Structure 1
Amino acid sequence: MDTTRNIPIDLAAFEQLFRTHHKRLCLLAMNWIGDSDVAEDIVQNFFITLWNNRETLSLKTSFNAYSYKAIKYSCIDYLRREAVQEKRKGLFSSEIEIEEEEEDIADRMKLYAQIIDVVDSLPADRKNVFLLHAVDRLSYAQIAEKLNISINTVKTQLRRAYMYLRDKLHLFLFLLLIIYG
């Protein structure tokens, strides 16, 4: 017993098939996808493919069963494609963030190198006082005791060091404010 069914070949019968099943198939696709426009497109594509293959297609099940499976698998394919695209967007976004972070680190390193160069250009005694104060966080009295100099000498050396740094680094500090401000 042959249970195959052919798709109606004439346009009027096909239009009737479309009108009868279109809404149900759109609701089915909508349940899978959650987007009415995409669901409509999937059902539309199903009927276009059905029309294009009407002369060679023979169904071994009812049209309802065939259309249900076709829409279901089209929806699954769509969801898979969307998942892949989202994954690619996430990877691309992560790559951009990493590149921006690497550029940010490189910019900071250049700036730090320039600051170190300016500090290194200080006279040796002034540089030593400045580093003890700025890096080691020693007080004026501790620096004076450690270097066996007066507190006024420490103050003078620090004032001169900061003035020199301010003159040399004003552009760098301005850039810092722009970049991190």
Structure 2
Amino acid sequence: MQETPFSLEQFELLFKEHFKPLALLAYSVVKDKDVARDIVQEFFVQFWETQHTIPLRGPFEIYAARTVKNRSLNHIARQEVQDKHQPLFATMPPEDQDAGDGEREQFFQRLSQAIDCMPEQRRRVFLMSAADNKKYAEIARELNISINTVKFHIKAAYVFLRNEAFFPLWISVFIFLKKIFL
């Protein structure tokens, strides 16, 4: 592995040369121009940040196409999960018909305490993602960390909350955060 495989100038050339074909590839999978562009931009951000740790064993084009296609497929899979769980939100009773105020308040208090127990960086990343609805690349840029670090913290936060049994379903986190921050 090289220390820095691409200089800034070389990277800019790679970006200019490959952005459009990669965006077309992503679009062929996700069928949304904005999402396709986001996927490709996130790929280039992540590649620039981690290029010194990625051993390219072939042409950049092959690596980039494979990565963008996988990210596009992952996006579709996440979207299908969201679509699958969307009816849960539609069938939930309005807030005033939900569990009693005391139970709801106790639940939110326990969940808030659980979030407060997380390490500072994990809590910050988790809230930026779940409450502020920021994309991984945006969080990484704002906190000056890699996208993989963002993913690690978010996954660890959900595992922590699930293991601590502070809520019956992971969806409850989104309901809680929506009520607090919206």
TM-score (norm 1): 0.48
Instruction: Tell which structure's C-alpha radius of gyration is larger.
Output: 1
Please report the TM-score for the alignment, with normalisation by the length of structure 2: 0.48
